[in-house]
Amino acid sequence: MSEVLNQQAAVTDGAHVAHPHEQAHEHHHETFVSKYIFSMDHKTIGKQFLITGIVWAIIGGLFSVLFRLQLGYPEESFPILETFFGEWAKGGQIQPEFYYGLVTIHGTVLVFFVLTAGLSGTFANLLIPLQVGARDMASPFMNMLSYWFFFLAGVVMLSSIFVHTGPASGGWTMYPPLSALRQAGDGQKLGADLWLVSMALFIISSLLGGLNYIATILNMRTKGMSMTRMPLPIWAMFFTAILGVLSFPVLLSGAILLLFDRNLGTSFYLSDIVVNGEILPNEGGSAILYQHLFWFLGHPEVYIILLPAMGMVSEILSVNSRKPIFGYMAMLGSLFAIAILAFLVWAHHMFVTGLNPFLGSVFVLLTLLIAVPSAIKVFNWLTTIWRGNIRFTPATLFAIGFVSLFISGGLTGIFLGNSTIDIHLHDTMFVVAHFHIVMGVASFFGMFAGVYHWFPKMFGRYLNNTMAYMHFWVTMIGSYLIFWPMHYQGLAGVPRRYLDKRGWVSFNDFADLDKMITVVSIVVFAVQLLFVFNFFYSIFKGRKVRTQNPWGANTLEWTTPINPGHGNWEGDIPEVHRWPYDYGKDGREFIPQTEPVSAQESKSH
Amino acid sequence: MQVLFIIAILVLAFVIIFQISKASEYVAVLRGWERTRKQTNRINAFMLLAFLVLGLIGVYLCNEKFKGRILGEPASDHGVLVDRMLYVTIAVTFVVFLITQIALFWFSYKYQESDDRKAFFYPHNNTLELIWTVIPAIALTVLVGFGIVYWFRITGDAPKDAMQVEVVGKQFGWEFRYPGADGILGKKYFKNVDPAAGNPAGQIWEDSTNKDDVFVEQEMHLVVGKPVKLVIGAKDVIHDVGLVHFRMKMDAVPGTPTTMWFTPKYTTKEMKEKTGNPDFVYELSCDQMCGKGHWSMRGVVVVETQAEFDAWLASKKPQYLVANPDKDPSKKNDTPAATTNAVAIN
C-alpha cells in the first residue's frame, strides 16, 4: 500500500503518508473563493471550463442564428436586429461587415473556446485524475492558471465585439494580407489585434493545460494502472494534449508575426500590395507562409477537437452495451495513427493556393491514409454494440449519434482530401457541410454524451431524462436536416461566406433550401437552450444520485464517494488489477478495475 | 413582428416542455423507476430504427429534389475529369455509407436491452480487424491513384499553343490583361499602379512587349476549344478565381503569381441552349474571403468563336495608347507634352 501512497505524495501534502487513513478533503480550509473561483481542484476547474464553454457556445450559436437569418431571408428586414445592433443592422438588415464579423467570431469561438477548451478542458480535467487514480493534476496551480488564461482570452475576445469598428472579420482562419491591413476593412482594425491577443492568451492556456494532462497521465497513475489498462478517454486526452503541445506554439508564432506585420511594419506576409489606392512599401513577404503556420496547428486542431469525443464515445458505448470495447489495442493504435498523421496533412487545406502539384499529391496520399484508422474505429464501434445489451441512456444515444455523424462527415472528407475533386469543392458550402458534421456537430455529440454520462459524478444529481431525450432527437434530426442538403449547394459550386446570392446566375437556385436550413437551425438552437436550462436546473434540483456506481461501470471514478471532495478518494487510492472493459465476462455483468483477477476467471483478453 | 411571434412560440413551447419533463419524472418515480426506464429504452430503440428508415427515405427525396440543380455538364476538358472523379467517389462512399449506417442503427435496435439476453463478451478478433484495415486501404489506394493521375493532368504544364490571359483580383472586382499580337504579357511592377494615369495594372512602359497589351475589367473573353492559361495575381488581399462551370479554381495571391489552364468546351451561346436558360453566363466568383464585398465580387466570362474573339480584341485599344494618347497613330495629337508625366514616373 505504501507504494501507492508514495506515488501520490507529490499530489497532496505529505500528511497522507503519515496518516494514510485521514480523509483527503479535511486538510483544506476552503473559502468560497478558493472552492469555487480560484480553485485548484481538478473537478471544479473542469466544471469552470464546462460552464464557460456553455456561455461561449450560446454566444457562438446565437451568432450563427443571426447570420442564418441573413442567408435564409436576404430580402427581408428584421427591425428587432436594428434595435439590438444599431448601425450594424441598419434598416433591420445585417450589414456585410457585421455579417463577416459574426461568421469569424462564430468560427473562432466554437472551434477554440467551446470544442477545445470546453471539451478537452472539461473532460481532461474531470476524468484524468479520476480515471487514472490520482488525487489531482500534477500541478494544480498550473491547472488553475490554465483556466484563468482561458477566461482572460474570453474577456479580450468578448471586448472585441464591442469595439466601434467591430470584431475581427477575416474569417476564423484570419488569412493575411486581409487580416494584416487596416485599410482592407473595418474588421481589420482594432478587432483583429484583439483577436490575435486573445488567441495568444488562449494558446498559453492550452499549453499549461496540455503539459499538465501529459504529466499527470505519465506519472500519476495509481498502482496497477499500466498504460494499457487506461480507459480509452484517457488515451484520447493523452494524444489530444500531445497534439496541442506540439502544434499550438506554431500558431502562436504565426499570430505573433502577424501582429508584427500589423503594428511594426515588418513584411513577413506582405508583398506587392496596392490597397484602396495606396501603394504599400512591403516587398518579399509570403502570404502563403501564414497558411502553412496556421494549418500546421489548424489540422491537428481538428483532431484536438475530435479525439476526446472519440475516447468518451468508446467508453460510453462499451459501458451501455454491457460489452467490452471491441479491439482495445486497435482503438489505441488508430488513435496513435491519427495523431501522427494529423501533423502530416495540413497542406490539404491549400491545394488551390498555387502549392507545388507534386507536394499536393503527397498530401493527398497522407490525407486519405487517415481514412484507414478512422474506418477501423467505426467498425470497432459497430462491433462493440453488436450482440450487446444496449441501454439507451441519453449519453448512449448521443454516442450513437456521434458514430453516425462521424461516418457521414468522414466520408465527405474523402472527397475533399482528393485534390482533383477539391479543385471544384474548395471553399464551397460542401466544405461547410463537411466540417460541421464531422468536427462540429459530431464533437458536440461526443461532448453531450460526456456531459450526460458524467453529470452524476460532477454534481451528484441526474439531468432530467425527458428534456434529455427531446434534446437528442431534435438535435439529431435537425443536424442532418441542416447539413445534409447543404452538400448539394456545395456540389453546385456555391461559395461559402456569400451573404446574398441573388446577384448571381449560377448560385441563385437554393433560396427555398436556405430558408428551410434557417428555420431548422433556429429550432435546433432553441433546443440547445433547453439543454442549458436542464443543465443548470438539474445542478440544483435534479434527481439525486443514490448509488456510488449508477451506470454499473468499471472505471475508477465510480469508486469515489457520490460527492467527492478535493483529493477524490477518502482513504487510500484504490489499486487496479485489470483493464477497464470486463463487461459481460464469465456471465458477470461487470467487473470493476479494482477487483483482483481470480484464479477461476477465463483468460480471454 | 414575425420574429416576436417566433420567440413567443418558442418560449411557450419551452414552458410546456419543462412542465411535462418535471411531471414525467414524478410519474416515473411513482410507477417505479426501473419499469419506466425499460419502457423508455424500447421507445428509443424503435425511434433509432425509425430514424434510419425515414432518414434513408429523406436521403432519396433530397437527391430527387436537388440533383437537377447541381451544375450540369462541365464546360471544360478538366471539368470532365473532376466530375468523373467526383461521381466515382460518390458511388464508393455511398455504398460504405449505407452499410455502416444500416449496421449502426439496426444493431442498436436489435440489441436493445432485454432481460432474456446476456451481452456477448467479445473483446477482439484479429482476423476481422485485419479485414477492415485492408479493404479500406485498397479502396483508398484506388481513389488516390485516380485522383493523382487526374491531378497531374490538370495541374501539368499548359500546351504550347495556349493563349494567355492575366487575371488580377482586387477589392472587389476583376481585371484582365491580354498579351496582344506578340503573345507576351509585358512586365509590371506594383509601384507603377496608377489608375489616374491610365496604368491600373502597373505596367512598365519601357518594356516593349507591353505596348500591345490590352487591359479590360470585369469581363474576360475566351475562345472555345482553345487552351487558355490564366496568370493569376492579386493587388491587395488574397482572392480566388473560381470558375464553377469549368470546375476550376485557383487562389490569387498578392506577390506570388499562380497559374491554371483549361480548354473551354462550349461557347456561352451553346451553354444557353444546353441549360435551357436564356440568361446563362459563365461567372467568375471570388472563392476566398476577401473583405466586405466578397459575396458580390463577380466577373463574367464570355466564351466565343475565334472570329468573334478576334473582333472583340481588335475593338480594344492597347493600354499603352490609353495611357499615352500622344503615341496613338490613329489620333492627330496637338499637345504631346500633356501626358508625358505618366511615363516619367518610371
Domains, chain B, in order of start with CATH, read 163-327+339-344 (2.60.40.420)
How far apart CA A492 and CA A335 sit, in angstroms, is 35
How far is residue A339 from each of residues A128, A312, A325, A342, A344, measured CA to CA in Å?
Answer: 19, 17, 20, 5, 10
Question: Which residues touch A572 (CB under 8 Å, ≥6 apart)?
Answer: A1, A4, A5, A20, A21
Give the pLDDT of residue B28: 87
Cβ separation A353–B254 shorter than 8 A: no
Label residue A34 by pLDDT band (50, 70, 90).
confident
pLDDT in tens, A178-206: 999 999 999 899 999 999 999 999 999 99
Q: Cα A520 to chain center, whole Å?
A: 23
CB contact under 8 A, A464 and B25: yes
Q: Is the pLDDT reported for residue A296 higher than 90?
A: yes
The predicted pLDDT at position B52 comes to 97
For chain A, what is the mean pLDDT? 92
The span from the CA of B282 to the CA of B280, in Å, is 7
Chain B residue with CA closest to A470: the answer is B17
- Say what the pLDDT of residue B26 is: 87
Mutation for B interface: A66, A294, A376, A390, most B CBs within 10 A: A390
DSSP per residue, B151-178: HHHHHSPPPTT-EEEEEEEETTEEEEEE
**Domain parsing of chain A, residue ranges:** 2-12+42-580
- A273 touches A335 (CB < 8 A): no
Residues of B in contact with A476 (CB under 8 A): 51
- Determine the residue type at A110: L
pLDDT at B328: 79
Q: How far is A361 from chain B (nearest CA, A)?
A: 6
Q: How far apart are CA A140 and CA B55, in angstroms?
A: 47
| Segments of chain B scoring below 70 in pLDDT | 1, 331-346
Mean predicted confidence (pLDDT) in A59-70: 95
A450 alpha carbon, distance to own chain's centre: 12
Write down the pLDDT at residue B29.
84
Q: Given CA atoms B138, B143, B146, B150 in this order, what sign does their dihedral have?
A: negative
Q: Give the CA-trace dihedral at A22, A25, A26, A32, to 10 degrees.
A: 180
Predicted local confidence at residue A2, as pLDDT: 41
Distance of CA A82 to the CA centre of its chain: 33
A2-12+42-580 to CATH, choices 3.40.1260.10, 1.20.210.10, 1.20.58.1000, 1.10.3720.10: 1.20.210.10
Q: In the structure grid, which three cell numbers stand for residue B256, read together?
A: 506570388
Residue A605 banded pLDDT, cuts 50, 70, 90:
low
Which of B28, B140, B262 has its CA nearest to residue A365?
A: B140
Distance from CA of B200 to the nearest CA of A (A): 10
- Length of chain A measured in residues: 605
Return d(Cα B91, Cα B103) in angstroms, integer.
Answer: 19
Tens of pLDDT, residues A330-378: 999 999 999 999 999 999 999 999 999 999 999 999 999 999 999 999 9
Across the interface, whether the CB atoms of A530 and B291 are under 8 A apart is answered no
Report, as an integer, the average pLDDT of A155-165.
94
Return the DSSP state at A503. T
Q: Select from A69, A424, A602 the residue whose CB has the most chain B CBs within 10 Å, as the one to mutate to test that interface.
A: A424
Which residues on neighbouring strands pair with residue B239, listed in sequence order? Answer: B252
- What pLDDT is stored for residue B30 in this prediction? 87
Contacts of A548 (CB under 8 A, 6+ apart): A558, A559, A560, A561, A562
Query: pLDDT tier at A10 (50, 70, 90 boundaries)?
Result: very low
The secondary structure of residue A322, as a DSSP letter, is T
Tens of pLDDT, residue by residue over B31-57, are 888 899 999 999 999 999 999 999 999
Cis peptide bond prior to A113, omega within 30° of 0: no
Q: For residue B119, give the nearest of A277, A357, A583 by CB distance.
A: A583
Nearest-CA distance from A70 to chain B in Å?
13
Contact between B133 and A372 using a beta-carbon 8 Å cutoff: yes
What is the C-alpha to C-alpha distance for residues A585 and A599, in angstroms, rounded to an integer? 14
Residue A18 has pLDDT above 70, yes or no: no
Residues 6+ apart with CB under 8 A from B299: B173, B174, B218, B219, B220, B283, B284, B285
Query: pLDDT higher for A32 or A146?
Result: A146
Output B270-274 pairs: Cβ under 8 A, ≥24 positions apart: B270/B224, B271/B75, B271/B245, B271/B303, B274/B72, B274/B73
pLDDT digits (tens, 9 = 90+) for A110-136: 999 999 999 999 999 999 999 999 999
Spell out which residues of chain A touch residue B168, defining contact as CB-CB under 8 Å.
none
Residues A394-408 pLDDT 10s = 999 999 999 999 999
Contact A400 B48 (CB under 8 A): yes
Question: Could you give the CA distance from residue A37 to residue A337 in angstroms, rounded to a whole number?
Answer: 39
Which of A271, A400, A418 is nearest residue B89 as measured by Cβ atoms?
A418
* Residue in B closest to A282 by C-alpha: B255
Whole-number pLDDT of residue B45: 97
Give mean pLDDT, residues A501-509.
92
Give the integer Cα–Cα distance in Å for B70 and B93: 19
CA distance B102 to chain A (A): 10
Say yes or no to pLDDT of A64 above 90: yes
Question: How far is B252 from B243, CA to CA, in rounded Å?
Answer: 13
- Interchain contact, B286 vs A181, CB within 8 Å: no
CA distances from A80 to A86, A98, A596 (A): 10, 15, 65
CB contact under 8 A, A506 and B283: yes
Q: Which residue of chain B is at minimal alpha-carbon distance from A382?
A: B104
Inspect the interface and report whether the beta carbons of A388 and B118 lie closer than 8 Å: no
Q: Do B254 and A287 touch (CB under 8 A)?
A: yes
Q: DSSP alpha helices (H): ranges in A264-393?
A: 287-321, 328-341, 357-369, 371-385
Q: In this complex, which of A186, A365, A500 lies closest to B144 when CB atoms are compared? A: A365
Coil, strand or helix: which one is B284?
strand
pLDDT of res. B13: 86
Beta-carbon separation of B289 and A100 below 8 A: yes
Which chain A residues are closer than 8 Å to B167 by Cβ? none
Q: Per-residue pLDDT for A3 more than 80?
A: no
Which of A374, A421, A469, A578 should we substitute to test contact with B (largest number of B Cβ atoms within 10 Å)?
A421
Chain B residue closest in CA terms to A100: B292
Ramachandran region of residue A588, left (φ > 0), alpha (ψ -120 to 50) or beta?
beta
CB–CB of A418 and B144 under 8 A? yes
Q: Is residue A139 helix, strand or coil? A: coil
pLDDT score recorded for residue B14: 86
Is pLDDT at A487 greater than 80 in this prediction?
yes
Q: Do A274 and B20 touch (CB under 8 A)?
A: no
In chain A, which residues have their Cβ closer than 8 Å to the Cβ of B252? none
Q: What is the pLDDT of residue A27?
A: 52
Among the partner residues B24, B89, B242, nearest to A414 by beta-carbon distance: B89
Least confident of A301-305, A542-546, B144-148, B328-332: B328-332
Q: What percent of chain A has pLDDT over 90?
A: 87
Whether A321 and B105 lie within 8 Å, measured CB to CB:
no
CA–CA dist A309, A302 (Å, integer)? 11
Question: Among A14-23, A297-306, A440-449, B129-138, which stretch is predicted with the lowest mean pLDDT?
Answer: A14-23
Q: Do B104 and A329 touch (CB under 8 A)?
A: no
Q: What is the reported pLDDT for A22? A: 43
Kind plus residue range of the DSSP H or E element containing B223: strand B219-223
Q: How many CB pairs under 8 A join A and B?
A: 379
